[in-house]
Structure 1
Amino acid sequence: MKYLLVNLVLITVLLSHKGLLSDIDKGYGIGDYATDFSLPDINGKRVSLADFKDAKGYLVIFTCNTCPYAIAYEDRIIDLDKKYKTKGVPVIAINPNDPDLQPADDVQHMKKRATEKGFTFPYLVDEKQEIFPQYGATKTPHVYLLEKTEQGNVVRYIGTIDDNYSDASSVKTKYVENAIDAMLSGEQIPLTTTRAIGCSIKSRKR
């Protein structure tokens, strides 16, 4: 019995490593291909990555109206979009929270927030809460940098935006900017994963 249990553990670890157990292997990893999505924006228009024909990549950010961390990063997310969408890497923001659990994250509040802050990027609703689990997002904000290639959209960076959520003026390392700059230059990204800092995603029970 002892040897049987050991073998079962080893098989489970092996399958998990190879991504064959869906309940263990959740979300994308670096180098994975991210499938496209079609989600409604705050005006009801459906948006997908394929809509951005001239894109070289995408900065998919799971964020919301209510999390203090997400709010602290809003201006920096706007700045990222302004800086990089002209270089072919637009921001695509997705609100993954269930409005039944967090009413201030419903579409009307999203629309109000986007107007007040002057969002320059699409603000989408993960209406069925199917996309954030596919990516493996657990926080708001949670960032995924994708590179558009002939084979598909490759995940190049996962994590947080920089090393100081509370004070933009004290940031020492801009993880996302470093990753995008390296990707666009065809260089190796110096750090491909960091720990996302933020609030837990408010997900309905399945």
Structure 2
Amino acid sequence: MSASRQIYLLLALSACCLLTMASPLHAGKYNPVLDAGDKAPTWDKLPATDGKSYSSASFQDKEVLVIAFTCNSCPYAVDYEGRLNQLAQKYSAKDSPVAVIAVNVNLVSADSLEKMKEQAAEKKFVFPYLFDESQKIGQEFGATRTPEFFVLNKERKVIYMGAMDDSTDASKVKQDYVSEAIAAALNGKQPKTSETIAIGCNVRYKRIRRKK
């Protein structure tokens, strides 16, 4: 092999290594942090619209946990409130093996905890609606849109993440990804679809200025 050929191969190998190192090791196709099958992040107690506080341990007796990242101010999130509430009603019995919760991490005034309480009362939410002022839970789940859904199995591994279903128009939904994932988890299986792209508004994370 010629010297020039050896140099070319070494440069190509170095470029591949750099690309691999720059890419997230566990990111999904659309999620920048998690991949299907990853252990879900845990969180400490967060305040909710019902006056209580909930941590990840609050739902440890449930076989399946559904987490919806949502807010008050996004029209997409508002459009999905009815579907989210309907899903939660389905599993609202105390002995239900499934828990459905929602989390808001936006810090704008329209998404304050007080406004969340107003929204929850007006829309008669039957699910715990949590607020995380630190935004940590959203960042650790890699949530980028509202609404965005995560389905966790009994081992609290992520078996589905992304959109709730295949259409923002409720009358045109043909595939309900979240319900399919719940059914699969209850049967100890993996859903056919483990990740989709979430459609909605950007989560409003604080901008952190880089130090000079």
Moved more, 85-94 or 136-145: 85-94
2:4 corresponding residue in structure 1: none
Structure 2 residues without counterparts, runs of 5 or longer: 1-6
Q: Which residue of 2 aligns with 1:9?
A: 15
Per the alignment, residue 90 of structure 1 pairs with: 99
Max Rg structure = 2
Alignment of 1:1-206 (within 5 A): 6-15=12-21, 19=25, 26-38=32-44, 39-42=46-49, 45-86=52-93, 87-99=96-108, 103-149=109-155, 153-166=156-169, 168-206=170-208
> In the superposition, relative to structure 1, how do residues 115 and 18 fare at CA in structure 2: closer, same or farther (>3 Å)?
closer
TM-score of the aligned structures, taking structure 1 as reference length: 0.86
Shift in Å at residue 15 of structure 1? Answer: 3.3
Partner secondary structure for residue 91 of structure 1: strand
Partners of 1:57 and 1:90 within 8 A in 2 = yes
Question: After superposition, what is the alpha-carbon deviation per residue over 1:156-180, rounded to whole angstroms, capped at 9, x for unaligned?
Answer: 00010111112x1221111111111
% of aligned pairs identical?
A: 40
Report the 3-state secondary structure (helix = DSSP H, G, I; strand = E; otherwise coil) of the residue aligned with 1:92: strand
Moved >4 Å (runs of 4+): 1-5
Name the CA distance, whole Å, in 2 between partners of 1:155 and 1:137: 13
Cα distance, 1:5 vs structure 2: 5.4
Aligned residues: 196
CA-atom RMSD in angstroms: 2.3
Preserved contact between residue 162 and residue 197 of structure 2 (Cα < 8 Å): yes
SS of match in other structure, 1:34: coil
CA shift, 1:91, in A, is 1.2
How big is the shift at 1:4? 6.3
Cα deviation code 1:32-81 (max 9, x no counterpart): 00121122213553211211242002101100001111011001101111
Q: What TM-score do the two structures reach when normalised by structure 2? A: 0.84
The Cα of 1:28 is off from its aligned counterpart by 1.4
